[in-house]
Structures are given as structure tokens and as C-alpha cells.
Amino acid sequence: MDEKLKNGLIGIVGAENYSEDLIDMVSYSYDASQHSARPLCVVWPQNAEQVSRLMVFANETHVPVIPRGAGTGLSGMAVPIKGGIVLDLSHMNKILMISIEDRLVIVEPGVVYANLEKGLAAYGFFFPPDPASGKVSTLGGNVATNAGGVKGAKYGTTRDYVLALQVVLPDGRVMRTGSRAMKSVSGYDLTRLFVGSEGTLGVVTEITLKINPRPTATSTASATFGNLEDAGRAVSQIMHSGIIPSVLEILGKETILAINKNTDLNLPEVEAMLLAETDGYTKGETEYQMAKVTEVFARNNALEIKQAKSDEEAINLWKARKSAYAVLARIKTHFVLEDVTVPMGKVADLLKGIEAISRKHDIQIATFGHAGDGNLHPQILYDGYNPEDVKKMEAASADLFALAISLHGTLTGEHGIGLSKAPFMTLEHDPAAMNVMRSLKRMFDPNNILNPGKMALDDAGGPASEPGIHG
Amino acid sequence: MEAKYDFERKYREQILQCSRCGFCQSVCPVYGATLRPALNARGKMLLLKEVMDGKIELGKELIDSLFQCTTCASCANNCPSGVNVPEIIKQVRKDMVNIGSCHPAFAGMNEVLQKSTNIYAEDELPDFDRKRDQKAAYVYFIGCVGAYREDEATEGALDLLDRLSVDYTLISEVCCSGVLEDVGYSLNPKLASQNLERIFATGAKTVITGCPYCYRTFTHRQEYDELRKRGITVLHISQFLKDLDFGVTTDKKVTYHDPCDLGRHCGIYEEPRATIRKIAPDFVEMQHHHADSLCCGAGGGVRGAYAKNSLAMARRRLKEAEDTGAEILLTECNSCVHNLANAKLRKQNIKIYNTTAFINELMTKKVRNK
């Protein structure tokens, strides 16, 4: 470790907020993806001013800086693939303001999603985009990845709620974007440029979020299907039936089997299962909507349709759904969790295509996801210590991406590009779009110090970074 | 590649099952107090994965993570991937002791328990003005923390047993030594057989423990199998009290802290509450309770080895207790009482008791007011 660098960092954050200990370096090498790479050191800044000074220092010394929240990302965007300084923002975890009158909150980036939920519950409000990792994920991370969640179809993703940001630019300048107003067309939308930018353009140090009143009534139902296509068709029919369920999730058979291993829910072990929730302010309202949903279930050959009788029953179903991907880790020790997303009318095609890819490469793919917004989570299960298996996984991934793009969809609905999907960026974005993105990156970060190596931004053309290290 | 360590031989699959989802971070008390992910269960599993992959050595540099775990089991309880972290930690600590990479405080504890009869290396076991090693129906086993550090709590418990006219005796007890299993060593069979002999000599058919850890050791460890074989029942004091009537109540608001050793490790959640509800009509739960209870920070050798962080954990728990508006915080473990009381600031008015001592205080006041 370079003494000058170390002393410079300690001079800014203090010795107690700096570490190069092996235990920290190992833990900051990973996120929830299969990628890993060691940083040089970690700093825990306490405020925006320290972040600004850190960026000035890093920019002068040309050392990479990797902003990080809870490290629950699934595409390697917090993995320090070029080494450098991990900027763990979890100490900046204060809810600065809750203004029900203005329908907004102002938070520091390290606030955990669940803590904001708790804070808002007292007022009967909520912040709708709830990623499955919401118990741990930080709002800074949610903004950086434009996190979605199970309520996407009705309530959108993080992007739809960010009103304003305070951002530290790579050269240390502190910039404010947006306003506290509910709407604004004042200049370019810099706020949205930063949402989903994966920490490549600036470090978000303060977030102003729009919040919603929490609907007080919900109805929950599930339906089982003998094949994925019926379920897929039911999904698109529901979405044009005039009803928008607050949640519409799909679970494939492998996922159901894994959930049954982990819980005492005893889900029926069928080919596919749909879980739906409707929300509103009276039971009549939610039941009316649910009746429409179950009608569509029935029309599409549902084997069994069940309404949750109690809140507890419903809560358990959602808890099981949210643990799905981690539960699947019990089947194979390595997995890649994709989040390809297609237009609503193509959900059945995507499901069918995933099955075909699984057969073609002779590899297990468990599927679940947010059917209601066309965002599926095919989870490819493999043995990372077996080179043959790794090859199969990579080939299946590539086919999945090609399939999604051919259906007019996208590589990623909510997890982001990071390292995992960087080699596929040019599949989705034409040369002009790639060129504009790379120009933007160079304009904000001419020395390429902020989260370098991600999103295929580094190179002039072609696939940018190697798929990460597996195992 | 041949496994180098026992932790790998026993737990390789489980360690690889960790999907790195990070859900444990929301419940880990050490992470909660430090916000340092290397100390969370995920961080620990990553270290072990890199050891198995041959990327790092299982050496002294890993001590601050692997020895800084209270073994509270919150992570295991919340792990969707089914990783039993406390068992893995206990095993890897043994591996580290074998290769000479052990936290000095942990090594010290083992040394003490090879020479002394208690974890504090005290010479004399206090008798609390009572005769020991008598013939009786019950043995009351105090445990080290209650005997040597929390004497007020122990006096309260013993006075209560007297008021209830329980036919019990103390014994010349020695440390159950179960804690050694958590800190990289092994239960000391000599100490176990001393305890067994003295229990048998009383003719008692039931052992009541004041300490959840001793309860756990007596009921779960094979070195104490002889108790079961001879038909001797072991109860934690909270189980013994649950069906009794005390004839006292408090109008104060009361909350309850589940000790990890009693709750998550032994599944005893309702017995303490049954008793508390009888004496405290205004009983409230903290934000985290039952299986989700937050550790006081004392367990797994952390209080001795990492005092500052241990107290920070206790402060978080106390804050939760205060947030309920309760004036009284009850628990069932001397170690929890000890750590929570140490963490209490002067401006904090909440009072911390074991349930037994609190009931005894209520009964004493009632007698005085007559």
C-alpha cells in the first residue's frame, strides 16, 4: 500500500474510517454476483464534504473509487475489478427529513430501504419500489441500480420517485439536481441520468424521494398451471384486462421445489404458479379487482386458484417469493441470476424460450420473476468448480440475452449491467447510443476513476470487459 | 484437493451455499454495531471460501472477523440458503486454535478453565449464606456470571426460591465449561464430572439452572448425558416458575429481552412471558423479540475479547427497550443482565433485572407494606 495514498485518505476520513485489513479487503471483493476482485483499501466517509475531498484526492492521484452500499447487487457493479478505493457509504445513514405535506423524504445514501419503510409506516406512507433485498439494500444502491421490485407493474421503479439528488462529481464538485417540486421541466433531467448510472458518473450523497400513501387493503391469490405457456398467457391477459395488480409474480417448478425445501408452505409442485396482489382502500375495491384476475386465471386453464385467507398467509407467500434466489443456492452452489425483461405481450414467448435454452445447453434454469412488468429472473444453476459447467452457463446466458433483445426487450430490467452484462451492451445499444454513453462518461469522469470497468464504458468499441472470475 | 481443515471437511457445502444475498446483514448484531461487513456472517463465509480456494491463509489476520461473533444465531435463523453459521464458526475457531491462530482472550479463557473452577479464576465460591451440598429435591445451579459477578441477581433468585418454600440446595459447583466449545476449545470433562458427582450426591431429581448457557450445556452436551440416563430433569428457572403464583403485580410498564441461549438456541420463548404477564399486566414487546430478538453482545467470547463492540451491541438493545417506554427491562440470563447493565448510561432510567430478582423485589415490598 502506497503510504502517500494511505495518509491522504486518513487525512480526510480519519484512521478509524480507513482500513486495508485483509478481512475487509476480502469482504469488499464481492457482491451478490459471481464476480470478485480485491480493492486496495476501504474508506467509510461520514458526510458529503469528506466524499468531495476524497474525490478531489482520487482524481489527482488517478486511483479508482468504487462507491458501495450494502453490496447486494447481482451484476458485479460494486466489485473493484480495477482495484482502488472502496467508498462504503453505509455510515451516511440518516433520514434527514420526512415531509408528508410535500409528499417526500430526504435521505442519506446509506439508509437501508427497510428503515425508511419503518419510518414511513407511522405516517401511513411508503416508498413503493421494494427490491427483494430491501431488508439490507441501501437507498444509494437502489438509486445507482434503479432498483425495481415486485410492485413494478403498478408503481414503477426507483427512477419514478427520485425528485432530486446531491451528487459529488469525480472532480470533487458538489452538484444539486432536480427540486422538491412534484414536477419540473427545468433544463436537462440530470437527476434521471444518475439513477441507474451504477456509480460511474458521480457519488450520490443525498436523495430526495417522492413517497406514496400506503393502500390500506389488499387481496392476495395464487393459481397453479400445468405449463408455463398458460401462465404466461394469463399474465398478458391480466395486464390488458383493465386491472393493474399491485403484484403479479411467477414461480417456475424448480423455484417452487426449492421454496418447499426451505419453508413449510407446501406449495403445490406444478409447472408454474402465479401470485397476485391487488391493493386499494376498501376490501370491496381489492376483491373486485381480484375477481377479474382470477377470472383470467380460470380462462387460461389454471389447475387451482386459491385466495389467501389471512394476512399471515399472504405475508408468508411474499416472504417465500423474496427468498427465492437465495433458496435456490441450496440446489447448486453457483448461480447467475438474470433479469431480462420483455414487452408484456411477449412473456409467454420468453418463458418458452428459457425452457428451450435450458434443454439446448443441458443446464438447470429456475425461473421466477415479476411477470406483471415482463421482468423475469431466470436463475442458471451450475457448479462453478467445473469448467464444463461454467462454459454451459456462459453460453446459456448469451442465448438468453439474444432472446430478450429479439423480443424487443432489454438485457436488464432492474439489476443493471455491471460486469456481468457489459460484454452484451452492444447487443442492445447501437453504435451511436454506445458512443453517446461513452462520451458522457468521459465528460463527467475524464480520468476514468469512478467505478471503472463497468457497463462497457471504458473502450471505444466492441465488448469492453472480460466476464468476471467465476468460482 | 484434500481438505486442510476440519471446518472444510464438515461444512464445505454449506459455506459454498452462502449466496451472498446479504440478508444476514440486517440481523447481525456485530454488523449493526460496527457497520463493517467483514464482521457479518456473509463476510465470514467469504473468508472461509477464500481459504478453501487457497487464496488466503487461515491465519491471525482473520481473527478479528472469525472470533468476533456472539454465536447469537440470528444469521442462521434468517438465512434463506440454509447456512448454519454459528456451528461453522465454532468449528473454524477450533481449527484456528490448532494452528496457533487464536485470540489471546479466548486462549486465556481456556487456560483459566484448565486450572480454575470458574471463568473468572476466583478462588472462593460464594455461598450466599446458604448451606451447600445438602440432600434436597432440587439443585439450584447458579453459573459463573451469577455466582461471581451478578450476586444481587442471584440473591434475588435464591430469596425467591426460599419464599416459595422450594426444597433446594446449592452445590459446590464448578463451571459447566460449555462456553469453551464456542471459543475454539473443548468442554472440560473433569469439570463436567465434578458437577455430575455433586448433583448426584444431593439425591435431587431436578436441576434448576439460573443460567441459560448452563441449561443448554446440561441438556445438549454428551458429557452431561448421565443426567438424562439417571432420569434427572434439567430446567431453566423460567420453566420452573411458569406455573407458580406469586400474588404480586407491578403497574410499571415492562419489556423482555430474549437471551440468545434460551431463545434461539433452546426455543424457550413463552415460559418467561407467561410469568411476566402474570406479574406485569402492562407488558410490551420490543421491536425485535422471540426468534428475531437482538443479541445483547455478550456471547461467544465477544465481551472478553471485543469489549467496546460488545457494549455497543448492548447499547443498541437498550435503546430498543427504552423505545418501548418501559421502565423495567426483564431478562433470564445473568450474562445479558451484566452486559446490559454495563452499557447503561447514567441518564438512562430503565431498570434491568432477571425476572426472578424482580419478582423477589415485588414480594419483599409487599411484605414490608403489610
Q: How many residues does chain A have?
A: 471
Question: Which residues of chain A neighbour B291 with C-beta distances below 8 Å?
Answer: none
Tell me the three cell numbers of residue A327. 433458496
More confident residue, B29 or A467: B29
pLDDT of A462 > 50? The answer is no
pLDDT of B314 > 90? The answer is yes
Q: What distance in Å separates the CA atoms of residue A166 and residue A108, rounded to the nearest whole number?
A: 10
Q: What is the pLDDT of residues A392-426, one digit of tens each?
A: 999 999 999 999 999 999 999 999 999 999 999 99
Report the residue of chain A nearest B26, measured CA to CA. A136
Contact A329 B56 (CB under 8 A): no
DSSP A382-409: E-TT-HHHHHHHHHHHHHHHHHHHHTT-
pLDDT band of B147, cuts 50, 70, 90: very high
Report the residue of chain B nearest A18, measured CA to CA. B36
Could you tell me where the beta strands, DSSP code E, fall in A234-374? 247-252, 272-280, 304-307, 334-337, 364-370
pLDDT of A213 > 90? The answer is yes
Tell me which of B1, B13, B15, B25 to substitute to probe the interface with A (most A C-beta atoms closer than 10 Å): B25
Say which range, A33-47, A253-267, B35-49, B179-193, has the weakest mean pLDDT: A253-267
Minimal Cβ distance to B20: which of A28, A30, A137: A30
Q: What distance in Å separates the CA atoms of residue A243 and residue A154, rounded to the nearest whole number?
A: 10
pLDDT over 90, % of chain B: 96
pLDDT of A466 > 80? The answer is no
What's the rounded mean pLDDT across residues B293-306?
Answer: 95
By three-state DSSP, how is residue A325 classified?
Answer: helix
pLDDT of B150 > 80? The answer is yes
Q: What distance in Å separates the CA atoms of residue B42 and residue A432, rounded to the nearest whole number?
A: 41
Where helices occur in chain B by DSSP H, the ranges are 6-17, 29-34, 41-52, 63-66, 74-77, 85-98, 104-115, 144-148, 151-163, 179-182, 189-202, 212-220, 225-229, 237-241, 270-279, 302-305, 307-323, 334-343, 355-369
Q: What is the pLDDT of residue A459?
A: 66
Q: What is the pLDDT of residue A407?
A: 97
B35 touches chain A (CB under 8 A): yes
Burial label for B2, CB within 10 Å (0-12, 13-18, 19+), is exposed
B94 contacts: CB under 8 Å, gap ≥ 6? B6, B7, B184, B185, B186
Q: What is the pLDDT of residue A467?
A: 41
Most confident by average pLDDT, A233-242, A326-335, B33-42: B33-42
Burial label for A2, CB within 10 Å (0-12, 13-18, 19+), is exposed
How close A3 gets to chain B, by Cα (Å)?
Answer: 20
ipTM of the complex: 0.94
Tell me which of B27, B52, B66, B81 to substitute to probe the interface with A (most A C-beta atoms closer than 10 Å): B81
B193 touches chain A (CB under 8 A): no
Burial label for B193, CB within 10 Å (0-12, 13-18, 19+), is middle
Q: What is the pLDDT of residues B196-210, one digit of tens each?
A: 999 999 999 999 999
pLDDT of B230 > 60? The answer is yes
A249 Cα distance to chain centroid: 16
Q: What is the pLDDT of residue B124?
A: 93
pLDDT of B346 > 90? The answer is no
Contact B56 A44 (CB under 8 A): no
How close A25 gets to chain B, by Cα (Å)?
Answer: 8
pLDDT of B329 > 50? The answer is yes
How close A232 gets to chain B, by Cα (Å)?
Answer: 27
Pairing type for strands A334-337 and A304-307 reads unpaired
Q: What is the pLDDT of residues B94-138, one digit of tens each?
A: 999 999 999 999 999 999 999 999 999 999 999 999 999 999 999
Q: What is the pLDDT of residue A468?
A: 39
pLDDT band of A316, cuts 50, 70, 90: confident
Q: What is the pLDDT of residue A80?
A: 98
Question: Which residues of chain B neighbour A136 with C-beta distances below 8 Å?
Answer: 22-23, 25-26
pLDDT of A469 > 50? The answer is no
B81 touches chain A (CB under 8 A): yes
Report the residue of chain A nearest B47, measured CA to CA. A26
Q: What is the pLDDT of residue A460?
A: 52
pLDDT band of A463, cuts 50, 70, 90: very low
Q: What is the pLDDT of residue B273?
A: 98
Kindly provide the b/e burial profile for residues B259-295, where b requires at least 16 CB atoms within 10 angstroms of the residue's own CB.
bbbbbbbbebbebbbebbebbbeebeebebbeeebbb
Q: Are B183 and B304 in contact (CB under 8 A)?
A: no
More confident residue, A183 or A470: A183
Contact A333 B79 (CB under 8 A): no
Report the residue of chain A nearest B65, measured CA to CA. A23
